[in-house]
Structure 1
């Protein structure tokens, strides 16, 4: 039976990601993190199903495909580089395991933007994102080592958005930004940016 198209594309992007990491990671400490990433196992279908049931969500197929191969990236080993490296506007994230995602999310308190922002400031918000700073239907799967950036799946977009779209919360000043329509697009963007980087430094 042929593998679904989304899984085939994720396989291609993950192989490209590994090749880029092997090229760009050069110092000894990061080589050890890379080796740990190589050995990182994936989540089972049962674990992914349980995660969906726990939050009453449906994980996008491309996201599931990645996590079936790698259940996160290991603490502080940055593997996602969304943004625009050519304009020096790229960001770096390590990926949480399913268990880390649950610990990060449980206890989330919703904060509406209207409680802290003027109407004029809220006009800067992408129309695909509902006006929150924190939302229980946003699930963090990526973080910057220091914790000032959070990469999230959005399971409650506006009518203009897409279920499971990728958004970022940035701290200081606090705001939320749209990144990609889906996880595949995020990986394509990330790999493209990673190609622009000479050496990965932490």
Structure 2
């Protein structure tokens, strides 16, 4: 898929030598894991599948004898300079089973939840948690949302940020999300080198 190839080429050019060596030990997801993801999430974007075909996660992911921890994604946090890991297919399947409640935020601050997000929250089977931030996911996570509010679109990308908690739509699709990372010149990797 063209957008994924553009993303991977740009990513490889932006990574440090050490990070690139580490990433080069990664391989794609198994056919079985991809089929399970597609079966459980029929709306799963083809671009995510294509990315997982190339790299099945970078979040403390073991490939053979090597374990990698390379941030390859970003978001709008810290003006786009905050890096994220790609979860493996298996991690996505496991971490997307729980409900992500947003109602507690709506009770205190309606602006803490983007109006494009369903006020019922992220329901099991209706989202894919695909990325955790470099702070082991506790501070920020990224989701593909298949159950938006009337203002949102199916497949939109949601960014959760902790303290203060907020849920924000940062792209209308996974393709748009990847394009945004390309367009920003992989600025999130600059933070990694410091």
TM-score, shorter chain, exceeding 0.5: yes
Where 2:143 maps in the other structure, the secondary structure is strand
Match of 2:184? 193
Rounded Cα–Cα distance in structure 2 between residues aligned with 1:116 and 1:161: 18
Structure 1: which 5+ residue stretches go unaligned?
1-6
Answer yes or no: is 1:51 the counterpart of 2:37.
Answer: yes
Match of 2:3? 9
Q: Contact 2:75–2:83 at 8 Å: present in 1 too?
A: yes
Match of 1:127? 115
Out of 169, 173, 176, which is 2:160 matched to? 169
Structure 2: which 5+ residue stretches go unaligned?
61-68
Q: How far did 1:156 drift?
A: 0.9
Match of 1:139? 128
Out of 93, 97, 109, which is 2:99 matched to? 109
Q: How many residues align?
A: 182
Q: How far did 1:11 drift?
A: 0.9
Q: Contact 1:133–1:174 at 8 Å: present in 2 too?
A: no
What is the TM-score of this pair, normalised by structure 1? 0.77
Where 2:13 maps in the other structure, the secondary structure is helix
Q: How far did 1:142 drift?
A: 0.6
Out of 173, 182, 188, which is 1:182 matched to? 173
Match of 2:151? 160
Q: How far did 1:45 drift?
A: 4.1
Distance 1:59 1:36, change over 3 A: same
Where 1:39 maps in the other structure, the secondary structure is coil
What is the TM-score of this pair, normalised by structure 2? 0.79
RMSD (Å), alpha carbons: 2.6
Where 1:176 maps in the other structure, the secondary structure is strand
Q: How far did 1:74 drift?
A: 4.0
Q: How far did 1:91 drift?
A: 2.5
Which structure has the larger Rg? 1
Match of 2:58? 73
Per-residue CA deviations over 1:72-104 (Å, capped at 9, x if unaligned) read 22424111122277xx35331011101111232
Rounded Cα–Cα distance in structure 2 between residues aligned with 1:66 and 1:173: 31
